[in-house]
Amino acid sequence: MSDVLLYQAANTLEAQMIVDVLSQTGITAHVQGAYLQGGIGELQALGVVRVMVDTQDYSRAREVTEQWDATPASAADESSAASSVKSARVLWGVLIGAAAAIVWLMFISA
């Protein structure tokens, strides 16, 4: 059995959340590239963290991932873990963007 790329995550946290969502539906997945570090200290290079699934689970995993990805983080009726997961994704995006901006400003001012 071979693994195929299901999702290219922004960071390890996002990838692990997707793996956890998939495991709740009985799909086994794993994170590939979690320990690869980028050239900016502890921030990971873009595109190296991937969620991999078995070929035979791909279509079902894709449906679960698309449903998870389409869930709005700000819906008032959400009481599940999906809202906290989406909020964490937004927070990580803001933090990574701020860190990249600081590094960029440091290089510009040098």
22-80: per-residue pLDDT in tens? 999 999 999 988 776 455 555 545 567 889 999 999 999 999 999 888 877 655 445 55
Q: How many separate domains does the chain show?
A: 1
For residue 76, the model assigns a pLDDT of 44
The per-residue b/e assignment along 70-90, b for 16 or more CB within 10 angstroms, e otherwise, is eeeeeeeeeeeebbebbeebe
Average pLDDT over residues 79-83: 56
Identify residue 51 by its one-letter amino acid code: V
The SS3 call for residue 17 is helix
Identify residue 100 by its one-letter amino acid code: A
Quote the CA–CA distance of 99 and 93 in Å, as a whole number: 10
Of 1 and 57, which is predicted with more confidence?
57
Q: For residue 49, give the nearest of 68, 29, 63, 64 by alpha carbon.
A: 29
For residue 64, the model assigns a pLDDT of 92
Say which CATH number the domain at 96 has.
3.30.70.1530
Q: What is the pTM of this model?
A: 0.58
The SS3 call for residue 25 is coil
What is the domain range of residue 65?
3-109
In the block, which residue shows the tokens 């989406």? 86
**Torsions phi, psi of 6, nearest 5?**
-100, -45
